[in-house]
Amino acid sequence: MMVGFVAGEAMAASPGAISPLEDFLLPDKPQGLGFQTQARLTDAIHRQNPTAWKRKTLASLISKYFMFALPLSQKFKDVLFSLTHGDLRDRLQQAIEQHEEEHQRRSDPIQIVRRRYAAAKQVVFLGLEPISAHLDSVPPALVDLLRYSFEEIVSGKLHAIMCVPSREIAIAIWKSTSNLVKARATTNPDAGTAAQLFEFIDKKLVLLELPRLMCVHTTLVFDPHESFAVGYTWYMPWDWRSPVKMPPAVLEAWKTEFLKPVENLKIDGKTITPIARTSIE
């Protein structure tokens, strides 16, 4: 059985892009398929159903999808699933879902990040100023995303560490959050009084002023201490479509070199103090 490529599929690839499926080849990762190379993955699939596809054809197609990060056609997915069964099929399904999410991130990054917010228990937010300085050039959907992130914190669903480059930005965040708390107490009395909500939110939101050089790129990392942690970085703040998903190795380095000092409240040997809501009132 042959699966061809059309010109549109090839054009969809980003130069130099690495398919998220690469992550699933690594045996030492929680989501790994357990194969160190594409050839070994190809062999495992081919052994499960050796008469349906020629091994050389299967290897060629898998290689092309991996190397060029092509979106997977439904026909290609259907054939893969017809070839596999059991645990390999389940893990392959997980890898494909990850691959497709990456393509969705490229076409609609705001929706992907919004879904991450809805599912996460913790978020670490770094930056803000680069994007906030260009709010006149980003779509309303991005502004809505920022507002939604605060609503998730106020709702009690999300613990957040927000690192910003100035005390003025921290004060503005606390003011916006306080307004949301008061509005929630008014419109949803069952959620608690404003005083009760403020007591709760003071434990859920940690605001830190960091050196400006650490806040050049806006970064969001969801559930950083979980095996399914995921992070995004906006390298070009004027381009709302530019968040890049951190590769696993980069995310691990970020947790060691950045997150650990932040959580220990010590940067370059100097102790940093969270900016409390009560300190600005």
Helical spans, DSSP H, in the chain: 7-12, 38-48, 55-68, 74-83, 86-107, 109-119, 129-132, 140-154, 167-187, 194-204, 248-254, 260-263
- pLDDT at position 11 over 50: no
The first and second tokens of residue 52, run together, are 């349906």
Type of residue at 237:
P
Please give the DSSP secondary-structure letter assigned to residue 151: H
Tell me: the pLDDT tens digits for 155-166?
A: 778 899 999 988
If one compares 100 and 10, the residue with the highest pLDDT of the two is 100
Q: What would the pLDDT profile of 207-216 be if each residue is shown by its tens digit? A: 999 998 888 8
Residues of the chain with CATH 3.30.870: 109-279
Q: What is the pLDDT of residue 233?
A: 86
Q: Does the structure show a pLDDT above 50 at 31?
A: no
Whole-model pTM over 0.85: no
Percentage, residues of the chain above pLDDT 90: 18
**What CATH class does 109-279 carry?**
alpha beta
